[in-house]
C-alpha cells in the first residue's frame, strides 16, 4: 500500500469517526430544540381561550400539541387571540356542554377543532 492510499484511508476513517460522534449530538440537539418549541407553544396556549376550548370539546391538550403541526397550532392561536367574540366565547365555555357544542359557530377555529376531535 502506498503512502497516498494510506493517507486517504486515514482521512476517510477520521471523517467517519467524526460523523459517528457528531450525528447523534445533532439529533439530540434537534430533539431538545423541538421540545423547547413545543413547551413554548404550550405556555402560549395556556394563556388563550383556545386551551379552554380544547378541554370543552374533549381534546387532550398534550395530544393536540404533539399531533398537530406547529404552523397549524400557531394559526389557531392567532385566530383565537384576534377574535372579536371573546365575551361570547367565555359565556359559551361556562355554560352546559351538551347545550353549547352546537352553538360554537362564532368560533374561528371550531371547524378545525371539530375535525381534530372527530379524528381522535
**pTM listed for this prediction:** 0.72
Angle at 49 between CA 55 and CA 43, to 5 degrees: 85
Which 3-state string (H, E, C) describes 1-36?
CCHHHHHHHHHHHHHHHHHHHHHHHHHHHHHHHHHH
Condensed to tens digits (0 to 9), the pLDDT of residues 93-113 reads 887 665 566 778 889 999 899
pLDDT, position 95 = 75
**C-alpha cell of residue 77:** 392561536
What number is the average pLDDT over the span 3-25? 95
Condensed to tens digits (0 to 9), the pLDDT of residues 23-76 reads 999 999 999 999 999 899 999 999 999 999 998 888 999 999 988 998 999 999
Amino acid at each position: 500500500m502506498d503512502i497516498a492510499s494510506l493517507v486517504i484511508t486515514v482521512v476517510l476513517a477520521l471523517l467517519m469517526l467524526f460523523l459517528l460522534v457528531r450525528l447523534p449530538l445533532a439529533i439530540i440537539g434537534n430533539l431538545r430544540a423541538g421540545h423547547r418549541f413545543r413547551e413554548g407553544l404550550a405556555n402560549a396556549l395556556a394563556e388563550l381561550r383556545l386551551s379552554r376550548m380544547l378541554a370543552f370539546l374533549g381534546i387532550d391538550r398534550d395530544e393536540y400539541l404533539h399531533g398537530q403541526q406547529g404552523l397549524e397550532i400557531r394559526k389557531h392561536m392567532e385566530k383565537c387571540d384576534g377574535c372579536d367574540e371573546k365575551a361570547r366565547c367565555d359565556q359559551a365555555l361556562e355554560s352546559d356542554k351538551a347545550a353549547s357544542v352546537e352553538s360554537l359557530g362564532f368560533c374561528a377555529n371550531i371547524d378545525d377543532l371539530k375535525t381534530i376531535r372527530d379524528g381522535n
